[in-house]
Structure 1
Amino acid sequence: MTTTVELTRFKAARTDELLAARPAMLADFAKDRAGFLNARLVRLPGDEWLDVVEWRSPADFAASREKGANLPGIAAFFAAIDALVVAEEGTRED
């Protein structure tokens, strides 16, 4: 089975705020986003982060994007992000 992978690299200097908001964001995704499989947050040098999110299909990912920050946990996490560096979509092939 292939899955859709969302790769979002962003800058966030308020580490405590970002990490405190993460559990609620994941809970909101789990209850509100069809096809959400899992997410991993990777800290990079220079206040940059990489969020690796897996979706069941491209349609599930697209539907999630349309919802945006529609729930408090998601909004709080997004609010802790200072700037988007790049967002990409791919397919996991293993």
Structure 2
Amino acid sequence: MATTLELTRFTVAPGEVAALLASRPAMLANFRADREGFLQAHLVRLPGDEWLDIVQWRSAADFAASRAKGANRPGIAAFFAAIDQLIGVEGGVIADVQEDR
């Protein structure tokens, strides 16, 4: 299995940033409890009102299964509700592995 990254770019209305950040811990807890193959996630704030969520999955199949479940848990639904506009979702396989030094 090849480790897969999910790259989701979206906007958040300025008044919803606090709600997005407040909902993040519950969203991640729901992923750990309900999403097979979830490894880790990083939320990146980009210039303007754009954000990038980088989620690491054990495999492309795990990523696809998660997408099929959608916002099936309260923490996930609250995080998604804070998103103003979805710009795009992509998935890719990690091509190189670097060890922490």
TM-score under structure 2 length normalisation? 0.90
Query: Matched residue pairs, number?
Result: 94
**AA partner of residue 45 (structure 1):** P
Q: Which one has a bigger Cα radius of gyration? A: 2
Partner of 2:59: 57
Q: CA-to-partner distance for each residue in 1:27-69, whole Å, 9 max, x for gaps?
A: 0000000000000000001110000000000110110000000
TM-score under structure 1 length normalisation? 0.97
In 1, distance between residues paired with 2:94 and 2:18? 31
Of Structure 1 and Structure 2, which has the larger fraction of its residues in strand?
Answer: 1
RMSD: 0.9
- Gaps of at least 5 residues in structure 1 are none
In 1, distance between residues paired with 2:25 and 2:73? 13
Identity across aligned pairs (percent)? 69
Give the secondary-structure state (helix, strand or coil) at the position aligned to 2:67: helix
In 2, distance between residues paired with 1:56 and 1:36? 6
**AA partner of residue 20 (structure 1):** A
In 2, distance between residues paired with 1:10 and 1:65? 16
Moved over 3 A (4+): none
| CA-CA distance at 1:2 after TM superposition | 3.4
Give the secondary-structure state (helix, strand or coil) at the position aligned to 1:31: helix
In 1, distance between residues paired with 2:81 and 2:65? 21
Partner of 1:74: 76
In 2, distance between residues paired with 1:38 and 1:57? 13
Contact residue 26 and residue 76 of structure 2 kept, 8 A: yes
**AA partner of residue 44 (structure 2):** V
